[in-house]
Structure 1
Amino acid sequence: MISRRAFLGASAAAATFPWWGCGIASAATPDTVKVAFDDRSGAGETYAYVTGIAPDGKVVILKADGTPYNPPSPSADQTPLAEDCAIPVKSLPQLSVPKMAGARIYVVTDAKLDFFVNPGPALVHPSFVNTADPNHGRNWSFCEFTFNDAVLFANISYVDFVAIPMGLHLKTTGSGDQTVPGLPAASLDPICDALRAQGGAWAELVDAGSDGRPLRALSAQHRADRFTGYLDGYIDSVWQKYSGSDLTVDSQIPGLGKFTGRVGSDGLLAFTNGERFAKPVTADVWSCNSGPFALKDGDSAARKAIVPRLAAALNRTTLLDNPNQPDDENPAKFYTAAETNHYARIVHSRLPDNRGYAFPYDDVSPGPDFSGAVQAGDPDTLTITINALR
């Protein structure tokens, strides 16, 4: 399985797994892939937007007729996109999409989205946290994909929020079809009800629309200031345990092997390969990308393998009980601690096959696939199912 993090940007600098050993055929992919929409939203109109980084490094977004458009660099920030790039999926349910990296397919019902361009050019995407953004109160969501010479990789992501339920189906030319159903129709309200029932800061993750009904449920990382100290007791217990016993982390990468670590008198979790980690705080766990979990260019392959597995075990609150990560993980024990990532717990409880990213390293696994990704070197058609919000 290739990590979602390998595809968040135009390069694979933050990859959890290397390209080799990922099971993708080495034959070149076609020049374009078909992207189709199965609109079950019940909306009067549904629009899609497809955008990413072209192989030449330019920003690309498809126009309303499905043809590629490279917006020029404007003279000022927040310049409105000059072309209409709202694809009406009811009248244009299938597109021919060229290769692009770090890409997204947005869907929005009964409205269009506003995209802007900053000098560069840099495309300004819709915001789900900035209430001043014109898109904030609209009903939209997205899936992620990268399509390059080796593979089409697409995933359903709840890393940021839950809104319109979406599913994926990948038809290939010979390697077999793949399906990720995602959240069923009308999943948002029960998820928000469960967050409210959890109480405390979890109830604050519900983002209501102008009608007072839930519009989206935010991941805890976007309300991290409400969770200060939330996991302190658990993390302290983990650090205390591994000051007196070994923690083993399996890189799951051929040739890289396993790493053994202990917490030293300096408070750092030190592995025998030389990698050292300070004690994280709750916000580091929720984001998987700050404090000791922040990865940068030049970090070793070992560190890039250890970080996801530590972050995943802390989100799932299994690190205290399982010193062999992630080999001896038992999914039945995920999120069973009183203080845990209840957003991820609740989202996974609604997924029919338990597959979908509820935090950035949700693809870490002893075997079962929790990631909600489809991928193939011989893609034919990627179908996006758009389910009803309620």
Structure 2
Amino acid sequence: MLLPNGTFYHPTCASSQTSPVLITADTAIPLGGKGSTTNINIPGYISSARVWYASEDVLKFYIVWNPATNSPTMVIPSAADPSDASADVNWGFVELSYTGSGLFANVSYVDFVGLIMGIRLEEKAPVNGTGVQMAQGLQTNAIKSICDGLTKQTGIDGLEWEKLCLADSKGNLLRVLSPSLYISDQPTAFENLWTSYNDKVWKQYQSQVLTIDSQSTNGNIACQVQQSDGLLHCAGSSTTYARPTANEIFGCNEGPFAISAGANDIHKAIVPRLCAAFHRSTLLSSGGNVQPSLPASSYYADQASNWYSKFVHQFEGDGRGYAFAYDDVAPNGGADVSGSVSTGNPGTLRIFVGGSG
């Protein structure tokens, strides 16, 4: 954790600490008012880090001994647990890695939409172009707009979309949970979202070939459903693919989308592209027999779609920001909707809190 004085703080606890204990060190870095800038220098390299922001209150972090790793483990705020100490706080984060290879950051809504923010990365002495990359983040009133869209979608298909919207203790809209986070507590939610769509996909690709463009030296991978076992078989893959459930699609890391230690590179290429195609409902679209190949304008055209992701992108200032795990999948030359910025020559990373307009 980074302290206000610009040094790293490493919270710890004894091996006897089996219940989470509040970290009381002052790790909050106060920000100024609207239009102000707070400068922060990172004193060393960090990997898989988060820059957390909260409005009108500080977030509460805890530490507990983890016998599985034989080391202290930090307990972070939960966006979904109503009993969490920070449940009534408006907060969010930017994901960040800064190593000897450079800097990577992204705006992520994979788990939830909370405090609105965007990012701008400026290279040090850029060689080509302006040396500036940006993900604007969500618009100022995006949470209400997203929830209006989700409520309307519930009226159309009767599914739990409107329940993704959470209010604070005063009844004000506070955040929007992703379907995958909501399902972690409500496992039967959305279970029939892709049932009919899956039937059509499996029927179509019994007689047609689904081509996965690996976008690597592995080239195009031919896939087809075999009637003998009802599984999708892909040439050269270390595994076969069963029809995914809604839970597996939303998470992209279980069932046919699990990547085991022994998985080969072809399977590793198929998983993100196939899972993204289900989220965006492009498998039955014209040209959808090649994944990825379609432009972002063709995403979410079927009722069997991740409507949370659809509305998140709709109300982003530039349409960029991860709304599910493999939202960085794009056709060659296509628009990057993931909201990530990176460079091997980092200068300044600017994080804007409050929205893009």
TM normalised by structure 1 equals: 0.81
Counterpart CA distance in 2 for 1:333 and 1:172 is 33
Q: Which of 313, 334, 355 in structure 1 is aligned with 2:277?
A: 313
Q: Which of 161, 166, 177 in structure 2 is aligned with 1:207?
A: 166
Residue 258 (structure 1) shift: 1.6
> Once structures 1 and 2 are overlaid, which stretch shifts more, 91-100 or 238-247?
91-100
Equivalent residue letter for 1:230: L
Kindly indicate whether residue 2 of structure 2 is the aligned counterpart of residue 79 of structure 1: no
Secondary structure at 1:243 match in 2: helix
Q: Which of 23, 30, 47 in structure 2 is aligned with 1:101?
A: 47
Counterpart CA distance in 2 for 1:388 and 1:285 is 29
Residue 82 (structure 1) shift: 4.0
Q: 5+ residue gaps in structure 1?
A: 1-60
Residue 388 (structure 1) shift: 5.6
What's the Cα RMSD here?
Answer: 1.7
Q: 5+ residue gaps in structure 2?
A: 66-70
In structure 1, the partner of 2:116 is 165
Per-residue CA distance 1:297-345 (angstroms, 9 max, x = gap): 232111111000000000000012311111x213222101122111111
Kindly indicate whether residue 253 of structure 2 is the aligned counterpart of residue 286 of structure 1: no
Q: Which of 289, 293, 296 in structure 2 is aligned with 1:331?
A: 296
Q: What fraction of aligned residue pairs are identical, expressed as a percent?
A: 38
Kindly indicate whether residue 196 of structure 2 is the aligned counterpart of residue 233 of structure 1: yes
Q: Which of 131, 149, 154 in structure 1 is aligned with 2:105?
A: 154
Contact 2:137 2:356 in 1 (8 A): no
Equivalent residue letter for 1:375: S
Runs of 4+ in 1 over 4 A off after TM superposition: none
Equivalent residue letter for 1:226: A
In structure 1, the partner of 2:153 is 198
Residue 92 (structure 1) shift: 8.3
Secondary structure at 1:69 match in 2: coil
Per-residue CA distance 1:267-296 (angstroms, 9 max, x = gap): 111111043111101111111111111223
Counterpart CA distance in 2 for 1:211 and 1:389 is 26
In structure 2, the partner of 1:37 is none
Contact 2:102 2:342 in 1 (8 A): yes
Counterpart CA distance in 2 for 1:281 and 1:342 is 16
Counterpart CA distance in 2 for 1:217 and 1:82 is 29
Residue 261 (structure 1) shift: 0.9
Equivalent residue letter for 2:264: S
Residue 161 (structure 1) shift: 0.9
Equivalent residue letter for 1:86: A
> Once structures 1 and 2 are overlaid, which stretch shifts more, 156-165 or 78-87?
78-87
Secondary structure at 1:241 match in 2: helix
Equivalent residue letter for 1:325: Q
Counterpart CA distance in 2 for 1:234 and 1:95 is 48
Contact 1:118 1:124 in 2 (8 A): yes
Secondary structure at 1:144 match in 2: strand
Between 1 and 2, higher relative CO (CA 8 Å, sep ≥ 6) is seen in 1
Residue 143 (structure 1) shift: 1.0
Counterpart CA distance in 1 for 2:84 and 2:9 is 23
Counterpart CA distance in 2 for 1:298 and 1:84 is 44
In structure 2, the partner of 1:115 is 61
In structure 2, the partner of 1:21 is none
Counterpart CA distance in 2 for 1:309 and 1:286 is 13
Equivalent residue letter for 2:79: F
Equivalent residue letter for 2:306: N
Equivalent residue letter for 1:115: F
Q: Which of 217, 221, 224 in structure 2 is aligned with 1:259?
A: 221
TM normalised by structure 2 equals: 0.88
Kindly indicate whether residue 326 of structure 2 is the aligned counterpart of residue 361 of structure 1: yes
Residue 187 (structure 1) shift: 1.4
Kindly indicate whether residue 92 of structure 2 is the aligned counterpart of residue 141 of structure 1: yes
Equivalent residue letter for 1:99: Y
Aligned residue pairs, count: 328
Secondary structure at 1:194 match in 2: helix
